[in-house]
Amino acid sequence: MSNTQPAGALPRHIGIIMDGNGRWASRRGLPRSAGHKAGADTFGKIAKYCREIGVPYLTIYAFSTENWKRPADEVEGLMDLLRRYLNEMFKHREEDARLCFLGERGPLSDDIREMIARAEAESAKNTAITINIALNYGGRDEIVHAARALARRCLAGELSPDEIDEEAFAGALYTAGQPDPDLIIRPSGEQRTSNFLPWQAAYAELVFMDVLWPDFTPGHLDRAIAEYQGRSRRFGGL
């Protein structure tokens, strides 16, 4: 745990774009798989820290729709890390974390889809923290998915096009019923959101940090939260 927890109001929902695993590994002369393993370990530590300090919602960008373009062995290694994480979650039910997965599940293997469904069902009543794992996720794809869902409701006579407002659209997204992220963090030195929660992040505070994800610590999270707390959030008002 960090020695100095952030003072002031915590963000209700933090999003993190986990980035820099490959560069972390290459700088150490290691295979990219070693970087992904180190990044997965960092995720576990940061998720636990968020729960300890009282952050209610955490969303992490684990695997994008574009990541399928990577070499097949790297993709399979990432999926094996997911399997390991899910197995660990089944062993640590006392941590009271609710798991939700954001993204299109169709391309995932049968065993992973089954593990995801089990993890969501078994953790559904947990209340300490909701952890969203964006897996095979793309923000534009999510918006198209929501638009199609609303269109189907209109065709079925359940909804009039004139009844589609921001609230109705938000209710068709993967994060339906959750607060929008207040803070989005991207380590690794890159300064873009890369198709991560574009609808939900409309008013999020963005913090970019020059640290590779495997080296990201609770102290870095504290600094990002402190920066968030120092900003004036007016949402278009005065």
Instruction: Determine, yes or no, domain membership for 152.
Output: no
User: Over the stretch 70-82, which tens digit does the pLDDT of each residue have?
Assistant: 999 999 999 998 8
Sequence ranges of the binding site: 19-24, 32, 36, 64-66, 68, 70, 186, 192-194, 205
To the query of whether residue 67 is one of the catalytic residues in this protein, the response is: yes
So what's the pLDDT on residue 169? 98
Cα 233 to Cα 229: distance, rounded to the nearest angstrom: 9
Instruction: Determine, yes or no, domain membership for 94.
Output: yes
Residue with structure tokens 């290691």? 30
Q: What percent of the chain is predicted at pLDDT more than 70?
A: 93
Is residue 236 pLDDT above 90, yes or no?
Answer: no
Sequence ranges of the binding site for substrate: 20-24, 32, 36, 64-66, 68, 70, 186, 192-194
Beta-strand runs (E) in 93-194: 97-102, 129-137, 183-186
Average pLDDT over residues 144-172: 97
Average pLDDT over residues 115-124: 94
Cα 108 to Cα 192: distance, rounded to the nearest angstrom: 27
Q: Per-residue DSSP letters for 171-218? A: TTSTTTTSPPPSEEEE-SS----TTSSTTTTTT-EEEE-SS-GGG--H
Confidence of residue 87 (pLDDT cuts 50, 70, 90): confident
Sequence ranges of the binding site for Mg(2+): 19, 205
So what's the pLDDT on residue 149? 98
Is residue 238 pLDDT above 80, yes or no?
Answer: no
Instruction: Determine, yes or no, domain membership for 85.
Output: yes
Instruction: Determine, yes or no, domain membership for 150.
Output: no
Domain harbouring 65, CATH code: 3.40.1180.10
What backbone torsions phi and psi does residue 207 show, to the nearest 5 degrees? Answer: -130, 120
Q: Look up residue 236 and give its two tokens.
A: 């278009």
So what's the pLDDT on residue 2? 54
β-pair partners for 17: 61
SS3 content of the chain, % helix, strand, coil (to 5): 45, 15, 40
Q: Which of 19, 180, 182, 222 is catalytic?
A: 19
So what's the pLDDT on residue 5? 61
pTM of the model: 0.92
H or E element that contains 37 = helix 32-53
Instruction: Determine, yes or no, domain membership for 209.
Output: yes
Is residue 34 pLDDT above 60, yes or no?
Answer: yes
* CA-to-CA separations, 41 to 20, 36, 61, 217, in angstroms, rounded: 14, 9, 15, 11
So what's the pLDDT on residue 234? 67
Q: Which of 41, 67, 73, 182 is catalytic?
A: 67
Average pLDDT over residues 174-186: 98
So what's the pLDDT on residue 7? 65
Confidence of residue 6 (pLDDT cuts 50, 70, 90): low
Q: What is the number of alpha carbons within 13 Å of residue 203 lying toward its C-beta?
A: 11
> What is the number of domains present in the chain?
1
Instruction: Determine, yes or no, domain membership for 8.
Output: no
Range of the domain at 119: 13-138+181-229
To the query of whether residue 3 is one of the catalytic residues in this protein, the response is: no
Instruction: Determine, yes or no, domain membership for 213.
Output: yes
Instruction: Determine, yes or no, domain membership for 52.
Output: yes
Average pLDDT, the chain: 92
